[in-house]
Amino acid sequence: PSGEIISATKVSIYNQCPVKYQLTYEYGFSNIFEKYKLWLNQSDSKRSGYEFNLSEDLKLDSKENEKSKYLYGQAAIKGTIIHKILQKEVPMKKLEVFISEELKKEIDILEYEDETAAKLAQEIKNEISIFYDSNTYSDINLYKDFKNEFELYIKENDYYLYGIIDKLIFDHDKKIIVDYK
């Protein structure tokens, strides 16, 4: 539609599953899910209505599906936290505390065991440590004029293209785009 803002995420979701796109962007399912997460984090006495439990839902599925969802959840959490670390440029000495706090926010919903959370925290710390010690990270840090999470809108015909650049570096007359994966 005219005036719509189209992002790479929107295009990706639509290509992946048009129904997911419709639920998310046309019916506002993601807003409903966010409200559900807030409700879930409340104490039992403050909750009202029905209680839904992801671990009970997983028990209904086959063991292979359960394992697949579990691993996907871990990868999603890991990616989210690593991205936040790079966005906020968390120094090594504050890494453990930051990871721990972020894991608590993410894990409450997925109900991981303490051992799993500790293992995931160590994996995240190890991967960030390797990246922080890399030549690539050293090269990126040479630039002092940059913006993290730079939002970009471009009008194309009667709609807008939208994107967020993880790090945009300004180097005299050129721009360098850094996209963390």
pLDDT 10s digits, 4-48: 788 888 888 888 888 888 888 888 776 666 666 666 666 555 545
- pLDDT, position 60: 47
Nearest to 8 by CA among 173, 154, 169, 146: 154
The 8-class DSSP code of residue 94 comes to: G
Query: What residues in the chain have per-residue pLDDT under 70?
Result: 1, 30-73, 108-113
Tell me which H or E stretch contains 111.
Answer: none
DSSP 29-82: HHHHHHHHHHHHTS-TTT--S----HHHHHHHS-HHHHHHHHHHHHHHHHHHHH
- pLDDT, position 36: 65
- pLDDT, position 174: 95
- pLDDT, position 39: 63
3-state secondary structure (DSSP) of residue 149: strand
Q: Are 160 and 4 in contact (CB under 8 A)?
A: yes
